[in-house]
Chains A and B, each alone.
Chain A
Amino acid sequence: MTDADVIDTLAGIRPGSKLDAIRARRAVARDQAQASYRALFEPAAPGDMSVEERFAVACFVVGLHGDTGILGFYAERLAASGAPASLRAAVEAEAAAGRTQGPFGHYPAGPLSREDTDGMILRISEAGRAALGPRLAAAFAHVHMLIFHPRDAAPPSLQSLLDAGWSATGIVTLSQIVAFLSFQIRVVSGFRVLAGQ
């Protein structure tokens, strides 16, 4: 179990610092962000998404954000989950191939169509598919959309997950992991800047 607060660790917030005191005044948010981390990465029972899959998705998400500090934390845990080197290399390669800028995407046809913007749609490489396996290969394509162009989300993307062997409950956990990390990465980035000023 991870006892140290993950956001404090990643943001370099030390006991007794100004940010430590500020976080203490939102103690429930601090505890529950940590509880979210535990629920998603140290689940009582892994259920429909293995711990290796959880950390593989985390490394991919953090890799897409290009945050090397946070990546080290998750890469260490992916390795500790027993993931083979071939899987770890594929996660890193797909994250490198998928890096772009967001958010972009499309709106329902109408007045917002003038704001529609195109961007990279990630296709997982053949080698990547082989190393990731069908579940993670389908998940990574979905996750890339969720990170960079979430307003393009549509049922076919979820159907591709179901077809690749994800259950409805597994999709909820996968979605929570990607969404939670989108929060965690930004809180850490924001607090690092605030602490440095």
Chain B
Amino acid sequence: MPETTLVPPPHTGPVAFTQAQLEWLAWIAPVPEAELTERQRASLIDAARAKSPYFRLLARDPDALEARTRTDKDIFYNPEGGAPRAERELAAAATSRFNGCIYCASVHARFAATYSKRGEDVQKLLDEGVGADLGERWNAVVAASVALAATPVAFGPEHVARLRKAGMDDFAIADIIQAASFFNWANRLMLSLGEPSLDAAA
């Protein structure tokens, strides 16, 4: 007998991009918390993620999950130089807005708003999309993220030149490239293995 997909419980799915806290409901069975092996538990990195159906689902391939999470954390949280955290988060939010991942966009729009203190501009990105006018430096970050997310990839020298003109050095630009690229990874997992809900977790 082949396995079957999960039918999520009745819930209210978001129909617009939002900074609200969303839940995520899996379409494939996560490893039940009580059945996590030691290796799977270690692959979560943060013990609290044992509560998350998303991370317990990815824990089915613990080596891939652990390396994914450590890559993610260094790209976004490493405080040493490069692009400011707010702009790494902006790249993540813009990529998610362009690819259409409402869940990822909600998380990283909140982070971008928190670190930049520009919640209204972040909301404008969510409401109007990647063509929103957010001021030249942010516009340059969004344009670079969009060009990277396109398939085939459309990122070129003009994007680097625009980021430099907006005041970024190559270390900062490399951070934007990695942050935007990473969300082409994250968006595809979040979008294809489950769905978002506006309802608080039961």
Contacts and interface: CB of A to CB of B under 8 A. Distances in A.
Interface residues of A, number: 73
A110 B15 contact: yes
A86 interface: no
Interface in B95-144: 98-101, 129
A151 B195 CA distance: 10
Contacts of B153: 65, 67, 185-186, 189
A178 to B, nearest CB: 6
Interface string A169-182: 10111011011101
A23 B60 contact: no
B159 A193 contact: yes
A179 B189 contact: yes
A139 to B, nearest CB: 12
Contacts of B177: 186-187, 190-191, 194
Interface of A: 18-19, 22-23, 25-29, 31-33, 35-36, 38-40, 43-44, 47, 64-67, 101-103, 105, 107-112, 115, 145-148, 150-151, 153, 155, 157-159, 162-163, 165, 167-169, 171-173, 175-176, 178-180, 182-187, 189-191, 193-194, 196-197
Interface of B: 2-7, 13-17, 27-29, 57-58, 60-61, 63-68, 70-71, 73-75, 78, 80-82, 98-101, 129, 148-153, 155-157, 159-161, 170-171, 173-175, 177-178, 180-182, 184-189, 191-193
Given A32-B67, A172-B60, 18 more contacts: A26-B174, A28-B78, A29-B75, A29-B78, A36-B68, A39-B66, A65-B151, A67-B152, A115-B129, A150-B187, A153-B192, A158-B192, A182-B185, A183-B181, A186-B148, A191-B177, A193-B160, A194-B170
